[in-house]
Structure 1
Amino acid sequence: MCARSITTCFRQWRLWIRPFLIALYVILIVILVPLLIVHSLNNKSNKSVQAELIGGGFVLLALPISIWQITQHVVHYTKPYLQKHIIRVLWMVPIYALNAWIGLMFPEQSIYVDSLRECYEAYVIYNFMKYLLNYLNEDHDLEAVLESKPQVYHIFPLCCLTPWEMGREFVHNCKHGILQYTVVRPITTVISMICELNGVYGESDFSPKVAFPYMIAINNFSQFVAMYCLVLFYKANRAELKPMKPIGKFLCIKAVVFFSFFQGVIINILVYCGVISNIFNISDPGKEKIMSSILQVSIVYYCIILEYSNNPFIF
C-alpha cells in the first residue's frame, strides 16, 4: 500500500515539482547566505572574498530564473521536438553562473572548469541550430521553401564571395558553417588542457612560445564563421522565424556564447598589456586571474538579465 502511494506520488510529479523547487531554493538561501556573509565579515581586508560574496549573490539570482524556466518547459512538455533543445540551451545559464563563481574562488583551477563549460557551449550551438531547423521544417520543407525565395547574398566582409544557391546548398553550407564550431571548440579545449598539464599553455600570455595565442586564433576564426552563418541563415528565414520572436533568442546565443568569448579575449589582452594591473593596482599575477573571473561573473549575470527580461524561450 505504501509502495503504491509512493508510485502514485511520483506519477503526479507535475503537481508538486514547482512547490518543491521553491522550498528547496528558500532553504538554500536561508543556509548559504548567512554563511557567505559571515565568511565575508571575517575577511574584510581580503578583496577576493568580497568578490566571492557578490558573485555568490549573482549565482543565487541566476539559478531560480533558469531552473524555473526549465521546469515550466518540463511540466508543459507539449512539443518535445522543440522543447528538448530549448531545455538544453537554458541549462547554459546555471552552468555559466556556477563556472564563473568557481573560477572566482579557485582561479588556479578555473581552466579545468572552463573546459567543461566550453564543451557545453559547443553543445548549445548544436541544439540551437537543431531547434531552428525543427521549427522551420515543422510545416514545410525548408529546402523547397528557400528554392522559391530570392537569392540571399553574402554580407560584409564576405560580400565578394559567390552566393550560395538557395535551397539544399544554402541550408547545407549554413548548417555546416555553424556546426563546425561544435567540433572545433571541444578539440581546442582538449588541446588546451593537455598544454596546461604540460606547462606550455600560458593563459593570458600572447608570446609565440606558448599555446594560448594559437588556441585563441583558432577559436576566434571558428566563432566568426559560426556567427556569420547564423546571421545569414536568419536573414534567409526572417519571415518564417518571426512568429517565434527570434531576436531575443539570437541575442542570447550571441551574447552568452560569442560575445562572452570576445570579452574574455579582450580581458586577456588587457591583462597581458598590464592595463588591469595598473587600474586595480595589482602586482600578483594570481590576482589578475581573480579580477578576470570577477568580470566573467558580471557578463554572465548581464546575459541572465537579458534572457529573463526578453523571456526568449517562453511560449
Structure 2
Amino acid sequence: MPCSCAEWRRWIRPLVLVLYALLLVAVLPLCIWELQKDKVGTHSKAWFIAGVFVFLTIPISLWGILQHMVHYTQPELQKPIIRILWMVPIYSLDSWLALRYPSLAIYVDTCRECYEAYVIYNFLVFLLNFLSNQYPSLVMMLEVQQQQPHLPPLCCCPPWPMGEVLLFRCKLGVLQYTVVRPVTTVIALICQLCGVYDEANFSFRNAWSYLVIINNISQLFAMYCLVLLYRALKEELTPIRPVGKFLCVKLVVFVSFWQAVFIAFLVKVGVISDKHTWDWDSVEAVATGLQDFIICIEMFLAAIAHHYTFTYKPYVQEAEEGSCFDSFLAMWDFSDIRADVTEQVRHVVFTLNFKELFQCNVLHDHNYEHSRSSDISQFFSSFRLFHGFVDDLF
C-alpha cells in the first residue's frame, strides 16, 4: 500500500538527513585515516580539502531537491528545476572522484560536461512551460511583440521573424547543444582510447583542441538563443525572476568551461610546468586535478546560490497531493526531451522538404514562363517578318 501524502512528507526529510549523517560517520574516519598515512603528498591533501567542500555541498543541494519533491505541486515547472538542482552535486562528486583517481578523470569529466547540456535544455523547458501556462497562445503573443534584433556578434544578420520562427529557432539552438555535447563526449572517449585526445594540451595535433572549439561554439550559440528568447519576452518572464536563475546556470557552465581552457593555457605558456607535478604523473594531470579541485570549492558556493534562486517556497500549497514516489520518478522521466528532439527533427525535415518542393515548383514555373516567353517572342518575330514581307510585296 502506498504511503499517504501526509505520512511520506513527514518522514522523508528526516530519513535522508539520518542516512547522510551515517554516511559521514562511515566516510570521514576513512578519509582521516588516509590523510594520517606516512608521506602524504599534495595530491592527498588536496583531495581531503576538496572532500570537505563536497560534504558541505551535498546536504545543501539535497535539501533543496527534497523540498521541491515534498511540495511537488507544479510538475511542469518543478521537474526541470529539480534536474537543474542535481547539477551541483553531480559536478561536485564527479570532480572529487576525478581528483582522487586521475586515470578516470577523462571518463567522469566528460560525463559531467554532458550533463551541462541537459541542464541548459531544462532551463529552456522551465521558461517555455511557464510561458505556455500563462499565455496559451504564446506564438500569437510573440507575433505582436516588437521585432527583436540579433545581439552582438550576430547583429549584422537579418532578424528572425517574431512568432513561431523565433520560438522554433531558439528551441532548436538549445537542443543542438544537447545533441552535439554527447556526440563530442563519445568522440573524446574514443580518442582517449586511441591515444590521440591529449587533454589540456593546446595543439592542433590532438583531438582535445578541436573538440574544445566545437563544444564552445555549440555552447555559446545555445546560451545566445536563451538570451534572445529572454529579450523578446522579458516582461512576460518577470514573475519567475529569470535573471538570477539564468546567471546561476550560466556561471556554473561557463566558469567551469573557461576555467579549464585558462588552466590549459597556463600549461601551454609554462606557468604550470613539469618542474612541479607533485604526486601527479604529468603536467596535464596537474591541470586536470587543479580544475577538479577548484570545481569542488566552487560548487559549495553554487549550492548556496541555487538554494535561494531555485527556491521551493512559491510552490508550497495547503492542499498538496501526490504519492510517495511520483515526484521522485518524475526526475528520471526523459520522455519530454525525447519528444522535443523528435518534434524538432520532424520540423526541420518538414521545413527542408517544403523548401525543396517550393524550389522545384519555382524552377518549374520559371521554365514554364521562360518557354512561354520564348513562344511569344518567336510569334512577334514571325509577325515582324511577315509584316516586312507584306510591305515589300506591295
TM-score between the two structures when normalised by the length of structure 2 = 0.74
Q: Which residue of 2 aligns with 1:226?
A: 222
1:294 shift after superposition: 1.6
Deviations 1:181-240 (A, max 9, x none): 111100000000000001011111222221011000100111111111111111111111
Contact 2:9 2:70 in 1 (8 A): yes
Structure 2 CA distance, aligned partners of 1:226 and 1:93? 20
Contact 2:68 2:78 in 1 (8 A): yes
Cα distance change of structure 1 residues 313 and 173 upon mapping to structure 2, 3 Å threshold = farther
For 1:312, which of 285, 292, 310 is the aligned residue? 310
Q: How does 1:220-259 map to 2 (within 5 A)?
A: 220-259=216-255
Structure 1 CA distance, aligned partners of 2:205 and 2:272? 23
For 1:108, which of 96, 103, 106 is the aligned residue? 103
1:300 shift after superposition: 2.8
Q: How does 1:108-127 map to 2 (within 5 A)?
A: 108-127=103-122
Q: Which residue of 2 aligns with 1:217?
A: 213
Which segment is superposed worse, 29-38 or 123-132? 29-38
Deviations 1:38-61 (A, max 9, x none): 322325641111111111111111
- AA of the residue aligned to 2:103: E
Give % identity: 48
1:39 aligns with 2:34: yes
1:72 shift after superposition: 0.9
Structure 1 CA distance, aligned partners of 2:6 and 2:37? 47
- AA of the residue aligned to 2:134: D
User: What RMSD over aligned residues (CA atoms) do the two structures have, in Å?
Assistant: 2.0
For 1:88, which of 79, 83, 89 is the aligned residue? 83
Cα distance change of structure 1 residues 273 and 296 upon mapping to structure 2, 3 Å threshold = farther
1:282 aligns with 2:280: no
Structure 2 CA distance, aligned partners of 1:246 and 1:303? 16
- AA of the residue aligned to 1:306: A
1:296 aligns with 2:292: no
Partner of 1:240: helix, strand, or coil?
coil
Structure 1 CA distance, aligned partners of 2:96 and 2:124? 29
Which segment is superposed worse, 95-104 or 29-38? 29-38
Larger RCO, structure (CA 8 Å, separation 6 or more): 2
Task: Give the gaps of 5 or more residues in structure 2.
Answer: 315-394
Task: Give the gaps of 5 or more residues in structure 1.
Answer: none
Structure 2 CA distance, aligned partners of 1:263 and 1:121? 15
Partner of 1:276: helix, strand, or coil?
coil
Contact 2:150 2:157 in 1 (8 A): yes
Deviations 1:95-136 (A, max 9, x none): 000011011101121111112212222221221111111111
Structure 1 CA distance, aligned partners of 2:101 and 2:38? 16
Contact 2:81 2:310 in 1 (8 A): no
Largest Rg, 1 or 2 = 2
Cα distance change of structure 1 residues 271 and 43 upon mapping to structure 2, 3 Å threshold = farther
Structure 2 CA distance, aligned partners of 1:236 and 1:202? 42
Q: Which residue of 2 aligns with 1:175?
A: 171
- AA of the residue aligned to 1:65: I
1:282 shift after superposition: 3.2
Q: Which residue of 2 aligns with 1:52?
A: 47
1:8 shift after superposition: 4.5
Deviations 1:120-159 (A, max 9, x none): 2222122111111111110212211111111111111111
- AA of the residue aligned to 2:248: C
Contact 2:57 2:89 in 1 (8 A): yes
Structure 1 CA distance, aligned partners of 2:306 and 2:82? 14
Contact 2:46 2:293 in 1 (8 A): yes
1:268 aligns with 2:268: no
Cα distance change of structure 1 residues 177 and 8 upon mapping to structure 2, 3 Å threshold = closer
1:201 aligns with 2:172: no
Deviations 1:246-301 (A, max 9, x none): 122101110112331121111122123221238x9337424343223222323333
Partner of 1:161: helix, strand, or coil?
coil
TM-score between the two structures when normalised by the length of structure 1 = 0.91
Cα distance change of structure 1 residues 8 and 76 upon mapping to structure 2, 3 Å threshold = closer
Count of aligned positions: 308
